């Protein structure tokens, strides 16, 4: 029978590093979490969380762990399994009978934390409940790969500054859990489990965790952080909440833009620029700059090296789903405000592009990809 097995959980003498071998059928992986400035508590829930979806994807049949697991957490895993199986019917179903569970404990109320990347959604999640939040928790190795040393350093400096300005504890948890998860499934599905796993290691010092939604109140897209999933990661001592903002990203920016620190520290870039926080040229940078203009916050922003590049925006290609919906909202707002007429012209062009133009752009992209595939091996010679 193919089995998911969590091996012996190791804790370093100083309590800053927790690791465990995860056996996935025939293959074994060592997963670690490290927090240099805070103590981590070893517990199986962290490793079961990150292994659940890969095990379902591999259609493993049974879970083994030689220890005791929270009853509430095991019930939650079963619920998460059902949600993912409706999204992905090819995923397998695990048998939990081999897990020994403990009854719920009467845990003391601990600190509360927001998982925080410094982007629009997590910033809003934090600022809108800043009086209830004790700490910002950043997972190092999550948005920025561990090998991007320089970018990670800048990111940490930036997050420390945010912590100082708002007088909040900032916790960095470094982990290779993303590398583990991405061997098996898309990060867009797996990331919620890595957040949950990291949170469990901070319990019982922390008992409440907020996961930012992604800025669209009506958005029920299949995604690793989701209102139907997040609460089910909870155990008796650690409660996870999907922090549905109830507003869209532009409204989040309008709220957060009241704070100067937001304007000085926002990081939304998909790339790892050589300096600064945001490249200003990737599609996420471009559309966020449009949202910032629509929200009236753009002139106060200090996180982009250059102003919005309209010729780059006019070449924006991957328009679909919630991003496209929100650019329509931005266009309507900008038309009414009459503040950035050139942006309005470009948005009209890309949002109402004719089908022949879309085909032409696709042809150009396909040709470029083919060309790059052929030319790259030559360059290596």
Decide whether 257 or 280 has the Cβ nearer to Zn ion: 280
Tokens of 85: 């199986």
Closest CB to Zn ion among 92 and 273? 273
Interacting residues toward Zn ion by CB under 5 A: 269, 271, 279, 282, 285
Tell me how far apart the alpha carbons of residues 150 and 157 are, in angstroms, rounded to a whole number: 11
CB of 280 to Zn ion, least distance (A): 6
Between the alpha carbon of residue 167 and those of residues 81, 116, 134, 158, the distances in Å are: 39, 15, 9, 14
Cβ nearer to Zn ion, comparing 269 with 326: 269
- 37 burial (CB, 10 Å; 0-12 / 13-18 / 19+) is exposed
CA distance 291 to 280: 13
What angle, 0 to 180 degrees and rounded to 10, lies between the N-to-C axes of helices 120-127 and 249-256? 50
CA distance linking residue 305 with residue 279, whole number of Å: 7
- C-beta closer to Zn ion: residue 135 or 279: 279
Cβ of residue 288: shortest distance to Zn ion, in angstroms? 8
Q: State the minimum distance, in angstroms, from the CB of residue 324 to Zn ion.
A: 18
Least CB distance to Zn ion at residue 225 (A): 21
Residues 6+ apart with CB under 8 A from 51: 4, 6, 22, 24
The residue assigned the tokens 């995860």 is 22
State in angstroms the smallest separation of the CB of 304 from Zn ion: 9
Closer residue to Zn ion in complex, CB, 277/334: 277
Minimum CB distance to Zn ion, residue 303 (Å): 10
Q: CA of 290: how far to CAs of 191, 214, 251, 281, 310, in Å?
A: 27, 17, 13, 12, 10
- CB of 326: closest distance to Zn ion in angstroms? 17
Distance from C-alpha of 381 to C-alpha of 145, rounded to nearest angstrom: 28
Q: Which is nearer to Zn ion, 52 or 303 (CB)?
A: 303
Cβ nearer to Zn ion, comparing 216 with 278: 278
């Amino acid at each position: 029978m193919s089995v998911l097995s969590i091996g012996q959980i190791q804790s370093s003498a100083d309590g800053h590093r927790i690791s465990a071998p995860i056996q996935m059928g025939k293959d074994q992986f060592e997963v670690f979490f490290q927090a240099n400035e805070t103590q981590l508590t070893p517990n199986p829930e962290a490793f079961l969380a990150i292994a659940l979806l890969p095990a379902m994807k591999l259609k493993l049949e049974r879970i083994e762990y030689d220890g005791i697991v929270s009853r509430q957490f095991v019930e939650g895993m079963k619920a998460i399994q059902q949600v993912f199986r409706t999204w992905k019917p090819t995923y397998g179903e695990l048998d939990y009978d081999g897990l020994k569970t403990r009854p719920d404990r009467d845990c003391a109320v601990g600190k509360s934390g927001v998982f925080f990347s410094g982007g629009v959604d997590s910033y809003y999640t934090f600022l809108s409940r800043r009086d209830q939040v004790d700490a910002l928790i950043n997972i190092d190795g999550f948005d920025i790969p561990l090998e991007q040393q320089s970018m990670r350093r800048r990111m940490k400096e930036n997050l420390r500054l945010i912590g100082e300005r708002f007088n909040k504890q900032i916790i960095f948890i470094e982990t290779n859990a993303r590398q583990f998860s991405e061997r098996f499934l898309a990060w867009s599905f797996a990331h919620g489990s890595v957040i949950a796993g990291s949170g469990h290691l901070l319990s019982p010092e922390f008992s409440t965790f907020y996961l930012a939604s992604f800025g669209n109140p009506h958005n029920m897209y299949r995604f690793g952080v989701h209102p139907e999933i997040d609460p089910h990661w909870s155990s008796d001592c650690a409660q996870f909440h999907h922090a549905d903002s109830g507003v869209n990203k532009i409204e989040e920016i309008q709220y957060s833009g009241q704070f100067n620190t937001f304007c000085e520290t926002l990081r939304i870039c998909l790339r790892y620029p050589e300096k600064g926080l945001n490249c200003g040229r990737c599609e996420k940078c471009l559309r966020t700059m449009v949202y910032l203009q629509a929200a009236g916050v753009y002139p106060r922003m200090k996180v982009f090296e250059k102003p919005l590049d309209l010729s780059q925006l006019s070449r924006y290609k991957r328009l679909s789903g919630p991003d496209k919906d929100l650019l329509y909202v931005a266009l309507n707002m900008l038309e009414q405000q009459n503040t950035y007429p050139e942006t309005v012209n470009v948005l009209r062009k890309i949002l109402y592009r004719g089908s022949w133009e879309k085909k032409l752009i696709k042809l150009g992209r396909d040709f470029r990809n083919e060309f790059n595939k052929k030319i790259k091996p030559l360059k290596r010679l």
